[in-house]
């Protein structure tokens, strides 16, 4: 009989938990337990030397009431949740042994606040779980710096933004190092992804203002995916051919039709790189330099986007080739195309995030993939 009454009280205490009843702290080791049917009615449960007592009539009769059972169960569940949070693993494994058996192990104080430290239960290594290691800031500051730079903000302006947004004092050189180091990692990762592109490509070259250099670009006409962005000091057949070789290596296919302007360097390069058995004479269309022709306006619009950065930054400074590669990643994977309403990468069948943070996290978890250095054959 007593056991049946106990089970009834226990069931009622569980019903209180299911109905969202929460204890209200009312002093040291004292809690008010609301009635699940009338929240205006509350019973005080006190804890002294590990013993529980309640003001309700049932407990005064010497019974273990539902309010005490409820509070004990509530504390037990709360402890389990905290224990689970403490031992929860993550998607990023231990950098030493690759194990995912990780537990939280205190915090590390930095100028950006507290960072969670982890302990590997397999090898005992302690570390801060972050895709960006050994830096003055954190992942969010790195991503903010990269995003601002790709949108045309100067290193000096980014350093000021770091101070205003994060209270972080960093030099222009630090910002430059962040951009160079982590954009290289992201570039290496996305260059290993193969887009599905059409058989019609547009090619054109662009002169870099204030520098004796050209940026050669090849764009897929359908997806607007930028297949190649090659820098050279000259405007020769060899430069055009190398650009086409890089473009072919990206989707691992050859186009059947190439649209270019009337530059003499293209025609021979097209024949050399796109002539195959079932397409012995690749179709080569060019836009006259003396006539208004819209056949190549797809890549001209891309060049206009590229020039916007030149205008904001008052000319390219530093490594133009590196910036061209960075801009290719930004254009293909992050910046949404106005006409497509999505990124060229997604239009080309690459199911990849358009967020810098997720791209960086994937980049540091994957082996480095280098785009092959292609040299024109004889």
Enumerate the β-bridge partners of residue 215.
Answer: 206, 231
| Number of domains the chain contains | 4
Q: 138: which 2 tokens?
A: 């954190």
Same domain, 166 and 280: no
Q: CATH code at 305?
A: 3.30.420.10
Q: Could you tell me which of 224, 226, 296 has the C-alpha nearest to residue 266?
A: 296
Read off the pLDDT band of 345 (50, 70, 90): very high
Same domain, 317 and 222: yes
Rounded Cα–Cα distance for residues 128 and 94 (Å): 10
Same domain, 340 and 260: yes
Same domain, 322 and 284: yes
- For residues 193 and 132, the model is more confident at 193
**Those residues with Cβ within 8 angstroms of residue 84's Cβ, 6 or more apart along the chain or in another chain:** none
Q: Cβ(316)–Cβ(231) under 8 Å?
A: no
pLDDT of residue 223: 93
Same domain, 231 and 178: no
Q: Cβ(257)–Cβ(285) under 8 Å?
A: yes
Enumerate the β-bridge partners of residue 206.
Answer: 215
> Cβ of 111: how many Cβ atoms within 10 Å?
12
Q: CATH code at 117?
A: 2.20.25
Tokens 């224990």 correspond to: 83
Q: In whole numbers, what is the pLDDT of the chain averaged over residues?
A: 78
Rounded Cα–Cα distance for residues 147 and 356 (Å): 8
Q: Is residue 373 part of a domain?
A: no
> Cβ of 113: how many Cβ atoms within 10 Å?
11
Q: Could you tell me which of 243, 239, 247, 283 has the C-alpha nearest to residue 264?
A: 239
Read off the pLDDT band of 369 (50, 70, 90): very low
DSSP per position, 75-121: HHHHHHHHHHHHH---SSPPTTT----EEEEEEEEETTEEEEEEEET
Q: Cβ(227)–Cβ(218) under 8 Å?
A: yes
Rounded Cα–Cα distance for residues 125 and 132 (Å): 17
Q: 231: which 2 tokens?
A: 């820098």
Q: Provide mean pLDDT across the span 44-61.
A: 88
Q: 271: which 2 tokens?
A: 């024949």
Same domain, 155 and 31: no
pLDDT of residue 292: 46
Q: Is residue 358 part of a domain?
A: no
Domain of 67, in residue numbers: 2-85
Distance linking the first and last C-alpha atoms of the chain: 98
Read off the pLDDT band of 375 (50, 70, 90): very low
Q: Provide mean pLDDT across the span 304-324.
A: 62
Q: Cβ(199)–Cβ(255) under 8 Å?
A: yes
Read off the pLDDT band of 54 (50, 70, 90): very high
Read off the pLDDT band of 211 (50, 70, 90): low
Is the pLDDT assigned to residue 333 strictly greater than 90?
A: yes
Q: Provide mean pLDDT across the span 78-107.
A: 67
Rounded Cα–Cα distance for residues 233 and 214 (Å): 6
Give the β-pairing of 42-48 and 51-54: antiparallel
Same domain, 271 and 202: yes
Per-residue b or e along 140-176, where b marks 16 or more CB atoms closer than 10 Å to that residue's CB: ebbbbbbbbbbeebbbeebbebbeeebebebeeebbb
Same domain, 119 and 259: no
Q: Provide mean pLDDT across the span 353-364.
A: 84
Same domain, 252 and 229: yes
Same domain, 218 and 342: yes
Is the full-model pTM beyond 0.95?
no
Angle value at C-alpha 267, between 262 and 268, nearest 5 degrees: 145
């Amino acid at each position: 009989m007593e056991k049946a009454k106990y089970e009834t009280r226990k069931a009622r205490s569980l019903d209180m938990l299911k109905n969202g009843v929460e204890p209200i702290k009312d002093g040291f080791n004292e809690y008010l337990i609301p009635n699940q049917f009338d929240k205006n009615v509350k019973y005080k449960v006190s804890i002294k030397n590990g013993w529980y007592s309640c003001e309700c009539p049932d407990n005064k009769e010497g019974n273990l009431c539902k309010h005490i059972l409820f509070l004990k169960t509530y504390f037990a569940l709360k402890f389990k949740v905290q224990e689970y949070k403490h031992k929860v693993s993550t998607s990023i494994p231990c950098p030493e042994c690759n194990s995912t058996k990780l537990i939280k192990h205190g915090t590390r104080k930095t100028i950006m606040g507290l960072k969670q430290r982890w302990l590997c239960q397999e090898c005992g290594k302690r570390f801060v779980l972050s895709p960006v290691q050994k830096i003055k800031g954190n992942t969010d500051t790195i991503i903010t710096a990269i995003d601002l730079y790709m949108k045309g903000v100067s290193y000096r302006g980014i350093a000021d933004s770091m101070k205003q947004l994060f209270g972080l004092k960093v030099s222009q050189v630090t910002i430059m190092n962040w951009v160079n180091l982590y954009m290289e990692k992201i570039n290496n990762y996305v260059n290993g992804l193969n887009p599905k592109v059409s058989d019609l490509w547009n090619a054109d070259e662009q002169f870099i203002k204030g520098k004796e250099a050209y940026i050669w670009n090849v764009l897929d006409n359908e997806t607007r995916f930028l297949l190649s962005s090659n820098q050279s000091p000259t405007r020769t057949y060899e430069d055009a051919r190398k650009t086409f070789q890089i473009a072919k290596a990206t989707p691992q296919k050859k186009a059947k039709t190439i649209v270019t302007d009337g530059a003499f360097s293209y025609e021979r390069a097209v024949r050399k790189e796109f002539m195959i058995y079932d397409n012995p004479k690749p179709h080569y269309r060019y836009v006259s330099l003396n006539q208004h022709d819209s056949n190549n306006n797809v890549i001209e619009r891309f060049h206009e986007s590229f020039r916007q950065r030149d205008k904001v930054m008052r000319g390219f400074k530093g490594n133009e080739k590196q910036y061209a590669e960075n801009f290719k990643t930004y254009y293909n994977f992050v910046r949404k195309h106005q006409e497509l309403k999505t990124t060229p990468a997604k239009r080309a069948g690459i199911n990849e995030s358009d967020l810098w943070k997720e791209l960086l996290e994937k980049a540091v978890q994957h082996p480095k993939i280098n785009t092959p250095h292609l040299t024109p054959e004889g």
